[in-house]
Copies of this chain bind each other. A is one copy, B any other.
């Protein structure tokens, strides 16, 4: 247990980058060469033997330093605060960070500054769950509905969701929790895999990985599309041949298109029965997503990994623009805002299929889906967490996926803690990997 007098003594940041662009892992129509990176934060305390709180923003390389600077700019809100008070009410910090009257000019509630807030708020939730000796999913699932409602910022939401409605959803959501927890622990939470479908992979690798995905127990795979229609037709035909008719194939354009082009392109791929089209256009284009959705059904429309905050998700739901809502654990303002978004999805009856992959996103977001299953939506039907088999080895408690399902993590916390050796190696630009890499390049020239 944390002594009640313990304080946050430091907020330490790390610019951690992995050289993933060299393998074309993660390549898509808008992101040809990502170097998966984390602007990583550790909250340290003066509690003897007490836990630390870990969190991060995921980025894809350049600009990770800007993200670190943004997290650094929040330090004065955190250092010196009571650990017990933060853990009892992470929402108090969330409100202070989002409400900083000068910093909010840099958003408000979007982009670099908002993701920085998300990293710090998530680090507090990691600390809270570790302090409680619980994995975060269980802490959330067993929390009192009134307390969960107190963790949500309803500003700009009440035309779609009131606190009273949220409370009713959470109270109803608890019915059958114990049974579902048994099921979750036995079977895990469904996943789907994007590993076969990166745009940079040749067709034989796509076929091999798609067949492997089915063998591994996945019932859905995802392909990146949007660079060249002829290629997409060939790749989707290849994938459909590899997995057969019973497996869902989602496609993901990563914001490549305008509205008319999205409709044309998806229509041209319809014969291969894509399950959803993800990010057909700008993540800011609520009305555009609605227009695409009206045109491409029965292909579903999915988006969310770049949706900046709860206000945009609210409108995507109000405008009937979404069939599938994709939360991301590290894009919005942390667990508190994702609670709001899960509640909005529940209110509108839209299934949540989280974005994950990158570095550490699978580790984080599984907790939110498991909470949703246990204590809010109460179902995994038409729901699955994205899974990509990259970089998990860098975490203390990596995700475990078996038979196409995420195994519920039992270690206390938010599964956010990166291994110290990994930080030492991939800290940019002076970690041992990057220093050796630089020396290698210099000796080559």
- Chain A interface (Cβ within 8 Å of chain B)? 30-35, 59-63, 65-67, 69-70, 73, 100-115, 154-159, 255, 258-260, 281-288, 291, 306, 308-309, 311-312, 314-315, 318-319
Contacts and interface: CB of A to CB of B under 8 A. Distances in A.
A66 B288 CA distance: 32
A426 to B, nearest CB: 16
B102 A35 contact: yes
A108 to B, nearest CB: 6
A102 B63 contact: yes
Contacts of A157: 258
A287 B284 contact: no
A159 B31 contact: no
A105 B66 contact: no
Contacts of A311: 282, 284-285, 288
B66 A66 contact: yes
Contact of A33 (B61, B101, B109, B287): B101
B108 A255 contact: yes
Contacts of A113: 63, 66, 111-112
Given A63-B113, A106-B112, A315 B101 contact: no
B258 A101 contact: no
Contact of A106 (B109, B111, B155, B159): B111
Contacts of A309: 284
A134 B256 CA distance: 37
Given A158-B260, A282-B156, A284-B308, A62 B100 contact: yes
A255 B258 CA distance: 29
